[in-house]
């Protein structure tokens, strides 16, 4: 996939389409803590606050809440609150957070793996570990960003369950399922949700120039399809200006998402 063009507007790159799709995952969230992981979701969260969701809370990456919108590779110009690490747990347990994580594997029901590849007793690759995924998925809204959509990531069964999916939560009972809120998956091919049968992943839109068949072929399980699979909206001129001039003027987004 190369750059995509909207008639009468500037050319938008695939990275910019993905960043705007991530921004829309936080739409109408209100005053909650947005926790994006890696560059594209970070651009998306700042773009959401600058456009549709001014009440979103964003951190400086350390112990404070930042004001305004700032570049992804710079410190914020102004702080608006104190958020020590211990307070983050209170926010998580209260459900006042929406995180966007990057799974190494994710299956049809949203079970996500960040920990290891291969058999549990003898993995072939050691990764980040469980991190906060179990608590995130059972306490507050969780979305996923996948920079390379392939059957190696979208798998029939994850090797290690870190983030909890709909089927596992149902098996575990009310304490696991009560606050499970899997929202969106944004990849370099498409936008997906979990509105399929029994909470299965469902294709909502494909990015410009990508066909439904291409997404299905790049997914390692039978993918549910929305009744009307649309094309992921392109960035507006105002969104492009914010991304290019304010949020990511050095173009770090293009290192994370490359044309297919």
Distance CA 109, CA 88 (A): 27
- Give per-residue pLDDT as tens, 70-79: 999 999 999 9
Residue-wise DSSP of 131-172: TTHHHHHHHSEEEEEESS--TTTB-SS-SS--B--HHHHHHH
| Rounded CA separation 104/96 (Å) | 25
Rounded distance between C-alpha atoms, residue 219 and residue 230, angstroms: 18
Q: Tell me the pLDDT tens digit for each residue of 124-158.
A: 998 888 989 999 999 999 999 999 999 999 999 99
pLDDT of residue 198: 96
| Sequence spans of domains, the chain | 4-256
Q: Which of 59-63, 91-95, 126-130, 203-207 has the lowest mean pLDDT?
A: 126-130
Mean pLDDT value of segment 193-197: 98
- Residue 225's SS3 state is strand
The pLDDT, as a whole number, for residue 8 is 47
> Mean pLDDT in the chain?
94
**182 contacts 170 by C-beta, under 8 angstroms:** no
Tell me the per-residue pLDDT of 231-246, one tens digit each, with 9 for 90 and over.
Answer: 999 999 999 999 999 9
CA distances from 209 to 123, 186, 188, 215, 252 (A): 37, 16, 11, 11, 23
Q: State the residue for tokens 């990456």.
A: 61
**pLDDT one-digit tens code per residue, 203-257:** 999 999 999 999 999 999 999 999 999 999 999 999 999 999 999 999 999 999 9
Contact 211, 196 (CB under 8 A): no
Whether residue 201 contacts residue 108, with contact meaning beta carbons closer than 8 Å, is answered with: yes
Query: Whose CA is closest to 150, among 108, 105, 192?
Result: 105
pLDDT (0 to 100) of residue 5: 59
| Cα→Cα distances 133→29, 42, 70, 128, Å | 20, 18, 27, 11
Q: What is the pLDDT of residue 241?
A: 97
**22-36 per-position pLDDT tens digit:** 999 999 999 999 999
Length of the chain: 260
pLDDT in tens, 108-117: 999 999 999 9
Phi, psi of 126 (to 5 degrees): -95, 135
Please determine, looking at this structure, whether the domain spanning 4-256 carries the CATH number 3.40.1080.10. Answer: yes
What integer pLDDT is reported at residue 6 of this predicted model? 59
pLDDT of residue 9: 55
Exposure class string for 47-69: b at 16+ Cβ within 10 A, else e: bbbbbebeebbbbeeeebebeeb
Q: Please report the pLDDT score of residue 204 as a whole number.
A: 98
Percent of the chain whose predicted confidence (pLDDT) is above 70 = 96
Please, are residues 164 and 113 in contact by the beta-carbon 8 Å criterion? no
69 to each of 47, 64, 74, how far by Cα in Å? 8, 14, 11
Query: What local confidence, expressed as pLDDT, does residue 129 receive?
Result: 86
d(CA 10, CA 238): 10
- 109 contacts 101 by C-beta, under 8 angstroms: no
- What pLDDT shows up at residue 26? 98
CA angle at 118 for the pair 196 and 184, rounded to the nearest 5° = 25
| Residue 143 backbone phi and psi in degrees, to 5 | -125, 170
**pLDDT for the residue 2:** 54
Task: Categorize the per-residue pLDDT at 7 as very low, low, confident or very high, splitting at 50, 70 and 90.
Answer: very low
């Amino acid at each position: 996939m190369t750059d995509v063009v909207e008639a009468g507007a500037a050319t938008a790159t695939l990275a910019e389409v993905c960043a705007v799709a991530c921004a829309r995952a936080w739409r109408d969230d209100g005053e909650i803590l947005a926790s994006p992981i890696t560059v594209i979701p970070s651009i998306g969260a700042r773009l959401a606050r600058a456009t549709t969701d001014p009440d979103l809370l964003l951190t400086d990456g350390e112990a404070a809440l930042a004001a305004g919108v700032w570049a992804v590779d710079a410190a914020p110009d102004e702080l608006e609150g104190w958020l020590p690490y211990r307070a983050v747990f209170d926010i998580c347990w209260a459900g006042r957070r929406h995180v966007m994580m990057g799974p190494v594997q994710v299956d049809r029901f949203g079970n996500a793996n960040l920990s290891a590849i291969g058999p549990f007793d003898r993995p072939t690759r050691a990764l980040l570990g469980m991190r906060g995924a179990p608590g995130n998925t059972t306490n507050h809204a969780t979305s996923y960003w996948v920079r390379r959509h392939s059957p190696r990531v979208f798998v029939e069964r994850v090797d290690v369950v870190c983030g909890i999916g709909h089927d596992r939560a149902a098996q575990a009972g009310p304490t696991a399922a009560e606050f499970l809120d899997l929202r969106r998956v944004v990849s370099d091919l498409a936008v997906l949700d979990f509105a399929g049968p029994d909470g299965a992943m469902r294709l909502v839109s494909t990015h410009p120039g990508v066909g439904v068949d291409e997404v299905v072929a790049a997914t390692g399980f039978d993918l549910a399809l929305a009744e009307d699979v649309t094309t992921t909206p392109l960035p507006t001129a105002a969104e492009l200006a914010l991304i290019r001039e304010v949020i990511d003027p050095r173009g770090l987004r293009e290192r994370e998402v490359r044309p297919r």
